[in-house]
Chains A and B, each alone.
Chain A
Amino acid sequence: MSALISPPVSGGAGPLVGRLLRSRLAAALTTPHGVDRYLERLNPMWAAHEVRARVVSVHRETSGTDSAPVATLTLQPTSTWRGHRAGQHVLVGVELPGSAKRHTRAFSISSAASAPGERFTLTIRAHVEGQVSSYLVREAQPGTLLHLSQAQGEFTLVESPATPTISRLLFITGGSGITPAMSMVRTLLRDGYDGHAGRKVTFLHFARSPEDQIFADELAAIAAADNGVDVHLRYGDQLFSEFELRRLVPDFRDTDTWLCGPAGLVELVKNAYADPASRELSPRLRMEFFKPAVARAAAPGEEVAGEVSFTRSGATAAATGASLLEQAEELGLKPEFGCRMGICFSCTRTKTAGTVRNVLTGEESSLPDEEIRICVTAAAGDCHIDL
């Protein structure tokens, strides 16, 4: 274990070393590269600013009759980890073997709120087309190194880690959307929430099948215990219905609710939370979406159909097959550019979702959060560009 938890910047003489490594002096001596660029050569778990983690253990969650198994990874972060609030997610960068490329994806944290430098868990479903999730679920082993962001996101429980002051809580989740809600319930129970004094928690979850149910044993234990947490699990065809929710939580529109799941579930719940007269959403409903799905790309040779969204400016246009730079300019945007032939990288931007085609190579890519040179890239279907 000590091999896993060896950052020099924590424990014992740690705070002093940590302060020194984060000092202006250290930054000045290591300019322009920075302290971490030197520390990482010695030990990837030594860091002054960046966050990395080692996988401590891998636990298989579902029995795996389906093609999308789920696993929980326990991570030991570097001492630079500032901890997380229940419900937050983290960006995980993984170098996939064979390609040497680092891919970055967001995953919700499933364990209770963590303190700086403390271990936490990610519960991940291996999606069929998800290179990163498949790798993490099927191939990550104790010792595997991951690159992390700090925890982020506002889909959280109240700030205080202790029992919340709000009277009643409702979680509605679907599929792997259960993870942030699980982190919240675990935090409540760990921090002494006992469910009495009228502070009930209702946990309503939709899964494809009992075999697909993540955290089944723990949920059963929570349901059985005398803690004021009601657990309702629905499988297969049992879709969300407003009628059923009203039976479980009569005043649901006035109850603090956390909703996380696939687009279909989110739509149904939003309908239920809209005021029948004004159609306004109840402010008590907090939501976290999975990345919005974008339409599939045109097959090679097929005419390009789709919408280009420049997300920062809010401008959109139908994909024409022209380069994204030209499309942006037609919309009156003024993105930075240089050679307009793909060599100088001045126009590099992040494509957050969708499919694009490199006009020089014909190569198509659907990776999320990918850096592209917009002067030699055209939309090959719906796509979102951070511009």
Chain B
Amino acid sequence: MSTETLSTPLADEKYHGLTAEQIEQLGTELDALRQRVLADLGEADAAYLRKVVTTQRKMEIAGRALFYLPVVGWLPAVACLSVSKILDNMEIGHNVMHGQYDFLGDPAFNSRMFDWDTVCPGEQWKYSHNYIHHTFTNIVGKDRDVGYGILRMDPDQKWHPYYLGNPLYAFLLMTFFEWGVALHDLEVENIVSGKRKLSDNKPLYPGLIRKIRRQAVKDYVLFPALTGPLFPLTFAGNAVANLVRNVWAFNIIFCGHFPAGVASFSEEETANETRGHWYLRQMLGSANIKGGKLMHLMSGNLSHQIEHHLFPDLPARRYPELAVEVQEICERYGLPYNTGRLHQQLWSVFKKICRYSLPGGDAKVAPVRGPGTVTEDSLAA
């Protein structure tokens, strides 16, 4: 397929043949769903969040303490600290900074004040994530989460020999994910392409450096030093916990938008979008992961990426109940509902990373499928 046809608006096909009226109707239905949950927010949501926070704090304290037991304590310490960091970043940090719990009026869980246990300053992440990514989801050229400015994840991204390293870059991004997220806001790729001036980043440096210093001092100086002669073990343990969190977060996040069958959009297609269209793009541009309660908790409910993208400011614990209705809506409108087990979605993402290291790629959206079925790789076409 030539690149000319790729950039042609594929409106009808992309929107699965829905008429403008049907898309408006879809928007109204989703608005109503949102309203119902909003009206019901209250003590149960607060209690859930506080329970998760208590668990996370206990895990962290247990992890820090177990490093004092040489040999037998090390592995459990790393496990506790990893779980603590994952909960902190995903079910707590990501969701609180989306404003999901602003309604509580508690400064501890206010999106404007919260910061998370990673080197990326929450303040900067909120701009690139809450605003850029959630507003322009999967619009190639606007959503900087498509490939994170490093990878080629979509045929609409022009191929370059640089992308032969796609799998390697993905591996490095996974390993150093928190650093990738922190440096993401500097928009290095836009500076390289001349869309952004180096001086535009100046205001970001102080916050970034402060946050990096604090995180590094805590994990790599103070806590190891407090264990005295066990310094090297604690140091290594903290590094491994950060790594575990990085690998997990990367995998969950890449399963959210990059499995096969997820649609991407062009700027032309999405100009003059209505609210209904915006909802539709969120649904078609996201993918879920099937799993049990633990899976949902540890992924910050980003296993319900579709529901999260439809309702980013509703408390994530509501996504499982919303998923039932969203899936039913998809069924009625003949829309795909992209979900699968973790390993299936990961395999699909892996194939995409490898496929797009080479030129070309089929921009066609996957055809309409029955809901709930795992999408097959449309790239084979």
Contact surface of A with B, Cβ cutoff 8 Å: 25, 28-29, 31-33, 37-38, 40-41, 93, 97-104, 338-339, 341-346, 348, 360-361, 371
Contact = CB atoms under 8 A, between A and B. Distances in A.
B135 A93 contact: no
Interface stretch (B7-15, B187-195, B215-223, B353-361): B215-223
Nearest to B275: A341
B222 A29 contact: yes
B102 A104 contact: no
B112 interface: yes
Contact of B131 (A32, A97, A100, A346): A346
Contacts of B223: 29
Contact of B211 (A32, A99, A102): A32
Given A98-B42, A99-B42, A338 B127 contact: yes
Contacts of B57: 37-38, 41
Interface in B104-155: 104-106, 108, 110-112, 115-117, 122, 126-127, 130-131, 134-135
Contacts of A32: 115-117, 122, 211, 214-215
Interface size class of B (residues with CB under 8 A): 35 or more
A343 B312 contact: yes
A100 B134 CA distance: 28
Contact of B130 (A38, A93, A97, A345): A345
A31 to B, nearest CB: 5
Given A29-B222, A32-B115, A339 B42 contact: no
B43 interface: yes
Contacts of A93: 105
Contact of B134 (A28, A31, A104, A344): A344
Nearest to B226: A29
Interface string B249-286: 00000000000000000000000000100100000000
Given A38-B57, A93-B105, A344 B218 contact: no
A23 B61 CA distance: 19
List of 7 A-B pairs having minimum Cβ-Cβ separation, nearest first = A338-B131, A102-B105, A100-B46, A32-B115, A344-B131, A339-B135, A345-B99
Contacts of B130: 338-339, 343-346
B24 interface: no
Nearest to A101: B105
B69 interface: no
Given A100-B47, A348-B102, A348-B111, 20 more contacts: A28-B217, A29-B218, A31-B214, A33-B117, A40-B108, A41-B54, A98-B42, A100-B45, A100-B46, A100-B104, A101-B103, A103-B105, A338-B131, A339-B130, A339-B135, A343-B130, A343-B134, A346-B131, A361-B38, A371-B110
Contacts of A102: 104-106
A312 B110 CA distance: 22
Given A101-B103, A344-B134, A346-B131, A28 B126 contact: no
29 contacts: A25-B222, A28-B222, A29-B223, A32-B115, A33-B115, A37-B108, A38-B61, A41-B54, A93-B105, A100-B45, A100-B47, A104-B105, A339-B131, A339-B135, A341-B135, A341-B275, A342-B313, A343-B312, A344-B130, A345-B98, A345-B99, A345-B111, A345-B112, A345-B126, A345-B130, A348-B102, A348-B112, A360-B31, A361-B38
